[in-house]
Amino acid sequence: MSTPTLTARPSRAAALDGLGRYVPIGATVALLALMYLGGLGNYRNFDNPQLIPDLFIGNAGLLIIGVGMTFVILSGGIDLSVGSVMAFSTMACAWLTVDAGVSAPLAVGLVLALGVVSGTLTGIVIHYFDVQPFIATLVGLFLYRGLTLQISAEDVSMRDVAFFDWGMTRVEFGGSPREGGFSLPYLSFLALAVVAIAFVVLHYTRFGRGVYAVGGNEQSALLMGLPVARTKVGVYAISGFCAALAGVVSAFYTKSADPLRGVGLELDAIAAVVIGGTLLTGGAGFVLGTVAGVMVMGLLSTIIAFQGNLNSWWAKIVVGVLLLAFILLQRVLARSGEKRRT
């Protein structure tokens, strides 16, 4: 009797090999450059040196969540709970510091630890109980939004907590904006540090290589002896941490907690990751592409604001069109790659 042999299917990301991997992110960067040049050519004061830094400031939370989402999507998963976890983290910070009398640094530490634990439990449910990521994280979306509303159904101010003044303390570069310089608050450096750490982890560590391998083909990763379980649980732990950190950043930025904050933010994060060139089925993409995707979405809203006569919902419409275009681009590249391989 012959013994059956385990064979792995070809990687879902194998078609995007070589230069094909860089086409989506190249398209994103080109789009970003064209949008900026178009703004320069059509609007006064678009060349203000503070404009680009303001994109990082206003989208710091989305950028941090997008980094966590990049890990999840690269592994072939999805996380719909990040917006609710962000809102819960901000509200938990407010309740701990304002009502419970906990010191702000300790409250922040507890919230970040909760984010890691939440993401870890989600990853365990997905891998060990074979629950679809969509369903498992949808549970988290409702659970944490409900818990947020249980703490308070109204805004909670944190303006009396001196610790949260730190995040918006600005560092000037080249003088004030009137002098041709620009400034960034500390929370922007925090977001950039998250991007830098994620870049190193994904491209220069064994865990990062495992994320790409699991996303490309989980069966092949198992045959290669990679720690699939640890990798899948790990990416959701990272996503939970990033969502909680985005909630803390929101506390620094607004000094208040809104129970409805972050509604739909998970969809914005997914859109930013895909527009940034990450393959929606996993296995191919770059965290720097996510940065470009967030910048495209932020710059789009800025252009609409400069235009003045357009409803802000046009940003959502254009993002939807861009998302469809990048998904179609991925499919075209994948099919052309499959033809070359055959």
* Span 97-115, average pLDDT: 92
The larger pLDDT score, comparing residue 134 to residue 178, is at: 134
> What are the backbone angles phi and psi of residue 182, rounded to the nearest 5°?
-150, 170
pLDDT one-digit tens code per residue, 209-236: 999 999 988 888 888 888 999 999 999 9
Is the pLDDT score of 255 beyond 60?
A: yes
Confidence of residue 240 (pLDDT cuts 50, 70, 90): very high
Residue 158 sits in which domain range? 21-35+49-333
Q: Is residue 41 part of a domain?
A: no
Place of tokens 């500390």: 186
Task: Tell me the residue type at 87.
Answer: A
188 domain-assigned: yes
Number of domains in the chain: 1
CA 180 vs CA 18, 175, 193, 262: distances in Å:
42, 7, 25, 34
Taking residues 152-172, report their average pLDDT: 83
Residue 19: pLDDT band (50, 70, 90) is low
pLDDT in tens, 259-304: 998 899 999 999 999 999 898 888 889 999 999 999 999 999 999 9
| DSSP state string for 127-172 | HHS---HHHHHHHHHHHHHHHHHHH-SS-EE-TT-GGGGGGG-EEE
- Residue 2 lies inside a defined structural domain of this protein: no
Query: Per the domain annotation, does 297 fall within a domain?
Result: yes
Write down the pLDDT at residue 176: 65
Nearest CA among 232, 258, 259 for reference residue 137 = 232
Model confidence at 337, in pLDDT bands (50, 70, 90)?
A: low
Q: Does residue 223 lie in a domain region?
A: yes
Helical H segments across the chain, by residue range: 23-42, 51-58, 60-74, 82-94, 104-128, 133-151, 186-204, 206-216, 218-223, 228-254, 265-275, 287-307, 313-341
Answer whether residue 14 is part of any domain: no
CATH number at residue 90: 1.10.3470
**Section 21-46 average pLDDT:** 89
8, part of any domain: no
Does 272 fall in a domain? yes
**242 falls in which pLDDT band (50, 70, 90)?**
very high
- How confident is the model at residue 311, as a pLDDT? 76
